Chain A
Amino acid sequence: MSANLSALFYLISGILFILALRGLSSPETSRRGNYFGIAGMAISIIVTFLSVGNFGSGFIYVLIFLVIGGSVGAFIAFRIPMTAMPELVAGFHSLVGLAAVFVAISAFLKPEAFNLGVVGNIKLASLIEMSLGAAIGAITFSGSIIAFLKLRGIMSGAPITFKGQHLINLILGLSILCLIYYLCSSQSTNIFWSIILISFLVGVLLIIPIGGADMPVVISMLNSYSGWAAAGIGFTLENTALIITGALVGSSGAILSYIMCKGMNRSFFNVILGGWGASDQTKTENNKEQKPVKNGNADDAAFLMKNASSVIIVPGYGMAVAQAQHALREMVDALKKNGVKVSYAIHPVAGRMPGHMNVLLAEANVPYDEVFELEEINNDFANCDVAYVIGANDVTNPIAKSDPQSPIYGMPVLDVEKSKSVLFVKRSLSPGYAGIDNDLFYRDNTLMLFADAKKMTEEIVKSL
């Protein structure tokens, strides 16, 4: 196949990938969008086979490895529980990053296969592109591994900080740039390997200071990185499909990071530099447990909700941890039978990744037109009888609106306190991730339900 013809096919793939993302503008068109994406991928792979034109024994091995990788991927995709989506996505990002590193290494060791010159005399532009691709890929890989370990709970979600951390990152970052400069003049293999090794280290150091609840930003950021790495390799290979995809993924991840940061009213750098809330924890420790709280049980909650005319449910990460989404749906079904109007309110940073709560509710067969975003539903709390807060905390804290001293001041929050009564399912009075006390616990219209989210919801279903 001629280079021009294959380039046109790669362009078609690129367009199909754009349509795949475009489909996600509504759930109805999204499934078709996914097929566009699959078609684009199939075209890219077939065209590559045809343009390489080598159908010898190597081709058989390629197919075998494709099938091995594909089966592993398919197996994971079917088996993974929806609550584990954040770590799955982090894990997948690490694979893209590592694949980018491997392709870059391969191109560096055998540039003539990619028309980039010969060993020891690789074209300058290609050298810069492949080393940038490899560096970003390596950062994506090791950073995603850390994110994966934190999300999976293998590594503590607490931020790991030490003195001079940011200075070390800065020095390492600059040294990568210097090494790329030297690589261009020396073409030395050792320098190429050092760039990759240092980038692995940077990836680790970049993610360890970031705490568990900031993971939505981290995952989005790594998503973006994996895109830029792909684009870097795309420039090296002069491949349009890869360049277009890299740009799409890179900007997609960047936008998601922006939305997540805005959902917390924090700047991107504030999140990346990490260590939020660690210092405030001790301060609030002193004055809690002294204020009176109203303590309720499942029967009280069932009574309140059964007699309400409208209920808004506010899910958070605690619902995911307790796997309470199915019990919650049963509770809502029972309420609906009693003629109660129920809707769900989702905060942008609820959960550990963008859209995390929506997927869990969809899994529990909650129709998506009952689920609303913060701006859509926030005014409805004033007219609602009961707000049922399950596993959320900081995103409901009214202090974000009233106290400029608070670390979460200015963060958009759900106005649950405006509803006639608030039911707060929580295991204890401990503060949330931000390390600050939630004033809502002590309000007159709040009833605390101290229990595991799933158990409490199941008990409420029983007494309904």
Chain B
Amino acid sequence: MEIDPFIFRLSIFILSIFVGYYVVWSVTPSLHTPLMSVTNAISSVIIVGAIIAALAGSSNNIFEISNIFGFLAIILAAVNIFGGFLVTQRMLQMYKKKKK
């Protein structure tokens, strides 16, 4: 009997939850704000779906309603990707050690 590919994805998902659990517990509390902004940035990888949606269908009619939702999602995700990574970078630059 063949295994449904869904089961493989579910396995990846559950194992990733465990990885996330251990990785996040090891994050130092002083970096919890950058943690939130960077998780926010990486969850915008949803842009992958937005790109597929935007480019779907024939090329002579690229503004069908489903494409438009794709384009809108691209804008939202792009704000998040650039905003999220850059603001994280800006915060992390500020964390400095004592000058000795």
Determine whether the beta carbon of A24 is less than 8 Å from that of B28: yes
Determine whether the beta carbon of A245 is less than 8 Å from that of B12: no
Report B14-40 CB contacts with A as 1/0, cut-off 8 Å: 101101110111111111111111111
Given A21-B24, A34-B85, A359-B94, also A100-B46 (CB < 8 A): yes
Nearest Cβ on chain A to B22's Cβ, whole angstroms: 9
Known: A25-B27, A70-B79, A356-B33. A52 touches B12 (CB 8 A): no
Partner of A78, one of B20, B90, B99: B90
Residues from chain B with Cβ under 8 Å of A219 in the complex? 36
Given contacts A69-B74, A77-B82, contact A359 B26 (CB under 8 A): no
Q: Are B48 and A44 in contact (CB under 8 A)?
A: yes
Chief secondary structure at chain B's binding surface: helix
| Chain B residue contacts of A88, Cβ below 8 A | 37, 83, 87
- List A contacts of B38 (CB < 8 A): 20-21, 24, 33-34, 37
With A73-B83, A247-B13, A359-B94 as given contacts, are A65 and B75 in contact (CB-CB < 8 Å)?
A: yes
With A18-B19, A54-B55, A355-B29 as given contacts, are A102 and B76 in contact (CB-CB < 8 Å)? Answer: yes
Q: Contact at A66–B78, with CB atoms within 8 Å?
A: yes
Q: Is the CB of B77 within 8 A of A99?
A: yes
A301 in the interface (beta carbon within 8 A): no
Bound-state CA distance A370–B91 (Å) is 17
Q: Which of A31, A96, A102, A238 contacts B44 (CB 8 A)?
A: A96
A243 in contact with B16 given A98-B76, A113-B52 (CB within 8 Å): yes
The stretch from A173-181, A248-256, A408-416 touching chain B is: A248-256
State the Cβ distance, A193 to closest chain B Cβ, in Å. 13
A354-B90 Cα distance, complex, nearest whole Å? 17
Stretch at the interface among A55-63, A268-276, A288-296, A391-399: A55-63
Asked if A226 is at the interface (CB within 8 A of a chain B CB), the reply is yes
- The answer for the CA separation of A85 and B73 in the assembled complex, in Å, is 23
CA distance A148 to B70 in the complex (A): 25
Q: How far is the CA of A373 from the CA of B28 in the complex (A)?
A: 10
Given contacts A41-B45, A230-B43, A242-B48, contact A248 B19 (CB under 8 A): yes
The yes or no answer to A197 lying at the interface (CB within 8 A) is no
Contact present for B33 and A358 (CB under 8 Å): yes
Q: Are B23 and A248 in contact (CB under 8 A)?
A: yes
- Contact between chains at B46 and A96 (CB < 8 Å): yes
Contact A73 B84 (CB under 8 A): yes
CB-based contact B40/A78 at 8 Å: no
Using A18-B23, A69-B75 as known contacts, say yes or no to A233 and B49 having CB atoms under 8 A apart.
yes
Closest-by-CB residue of B relative to A227 is B43
A226 touches which of B28, B43, B49 (Cβ 8 Å): B43
B17 touches A251 (CB 8 A): yes
| A/B interface sample: 5 pairs, CB < 8 A | A62-B74, A73-B82, A100-B46, A114-B49, A248-B42
State the A residues within 8 Å of B (CB): 10, 13-14, 17-18, 20-22, 24-27, 30-31, 33-34, 37-38, 40-41, 44-45, 48-49, 52, 54, 56-59, 61-62, 65-74, 76-78, 80, 82, 85, 88-89, 92-93, 95-96, 98-100, 102-103, 105-107, 109-110, 112-114, 125, 219-220, 223, 226-227, 230-231, 233-253, 255-256, 259, 346, 348, 353-356, 358-359, 362-363, 365, 367-371, 373
Using a CB–CB distance below 8 Å, which chain B residues touch chain A? 5-6, 9, 12-14, 16-17, 19-21, 23-57, 59, 62, 64-67, 69-99
Q: 10 closest A-B pairs (Cβ-Cβ)?
A: A69-B78, A113-B56, A355-B32, A73-B83, A73-B82, A247-B16, A354-B32, A251-B20, A77-B86, A106-B53
